[in-house]
Amino acid sequence: MTTQSLRWPGGPLGGTGRLPASKSEANRALLLQRLAGGGTLANLSEANDTVLMARLLNEAATTDLLDAQDAGTVMRFMTAYLAVTGWRGTLTGAARMKQRPIAILVDALRALGSDITYAEQEGYPPLIFGGQPLAARTEPAELAVRGDISSQYISALLMVAPMLPGGLRLRLTGEIGSRPYIKMTLKLMRHFGATATETKRDEIMVQPGGYRPADYTVESDWSAASYWYALVALAPAGASVLLPGLREKSWQGDHVIQIIMRPLGVETEFLADGSGARLTQIPAAPAPEGAPTTDFTDCPDLAQTVAVVVAALGRRRRFAGLHSLRIKETDRIAAIQNELRKFGADMPEVEPGVFEVQPGTFKVDGQTVETYEDHRMAMAFAPLAMRGPLLVHEPQVVRKSYPSFWRALAAVGIQVA
């Protein structure tokens, strides 16, 4: 049990924010590289999830027990990969992973002919793979999959689809969450030589034929960049930070943080040489009457960060599209509510599926933030150091996606102890 203190000594915030590479891109690229049989990947993420993904892809050839730990993308992507390659063994995970549903993906893979059973609770990991290859057929397999739970199920199915003898016609049903992540998957698949077409808004056709080796350089992570946007927004006047490695035309859905944060006082300028972006604090737009609504359906990983910023700025805002946050590393909605209350704010559900940040008498004065074994809780609340001293409990959780986060904050002058 460890606790870390954060404090800003005063004055404008400046310098360079060192970002990790995108683990979303990296984990997809690792799987596609393996299915393609080659290619060089540059700027792979240092995140534990990516290191773990690379290791499990290697270990699958020599062991019958794999542990995805607490990594959702690793569990979902490896499930599809192990099914399509006819692996025999058990894929398990951490205690929290065993509480995260996976039945939608397993049911789809079973429909394609895979032999997968549950070792413990029905619908949840661990999974037992019987080693049976997916059914051979000349016509496209057809699946209908719900899109309102996790886009990672959909991405997992899409990435293995070119390996099916007849390809795959995938129809998405219901509300589609995190659609930009599906589009990222399709773009990376095409980069590695697959033919995948969105024939209709909610239907994707993937042709058979596999992949071909390709090189790819992973972009810096826009989800990680969101914490720097928060720091600039909450810093004393005159803040400006350089973020290397961000692309103006990004495949990552979380690049919308630049749009969300502009009215909250952060301007984004992409460097002419394409090497990154500079964030500059500008006067925030006048607070609108009432509580405007922001829909996070396509960018749920930004919700915690934005909730903290608007509360600290004394603004009301409604948040929609948060349904997937219930099944992340923790119940992120409950976690945000609990921790905002420590600072005088709240985020009650004001109508079904809609939550309103109510700033109350927001004050930062030495509170301890619980992290709930969730990396994004630690990093979303850390920017409050710009408004006063605070403590972060179990700060090492950032290793999941941004292991150098605390060192990066210290490098721009935040006192981390």
Angle of CA points 161, 165, 167, to nearest 5°: 40
For residue 142, the SS3 value is strand
For residue 78, the SS3 value is helix
How far is residue 300's CA from residue 325's CA, in Å, rounded to a whole number? 7
Q: Closest by alpha carbon to 314, among 351, 340, 293, 280?
A: 340
Tokens of 154: 């959909």
How far is residue 122's CA from residue 311's CA, in Å, rounded to a whole number? 40
How far is residue 274's CA from residue 293's CA, in Å, rounded to a whole number? 33
Active-site residue 301, yes or no? Answer: yes
The Cβ of residue 355 has, within 10 Å, a number of other Cβ atoms equal to: 22
Q: Closest by alpha carbon to 127, among 114, 140, 146?
A: 114
Cis preceding linkage at 165, omega within 30? no
Exposed, middle or buried: residue 199 (CB in 10 Å: 0-12, 13-18, 19+)?
exposed
Q: Closest by alpha carbon to 349, among 382, 326, 378, 371?
A: 326
Give the alpha-carbon dihedral of 155, 172, 206, 214, to 10 degrees: -20
How far is residue 323's CA from residue 316's CA, in Å, rounded to a whole number? 20
DSSP state of 206: E
Q: Which of 70, 221, 254, 301 is catalytic?
A: 301
How far is residue 181's CA from residue 151's CA, in Å, rounded to a whole number? 7
Active-site amino acid positions: 301
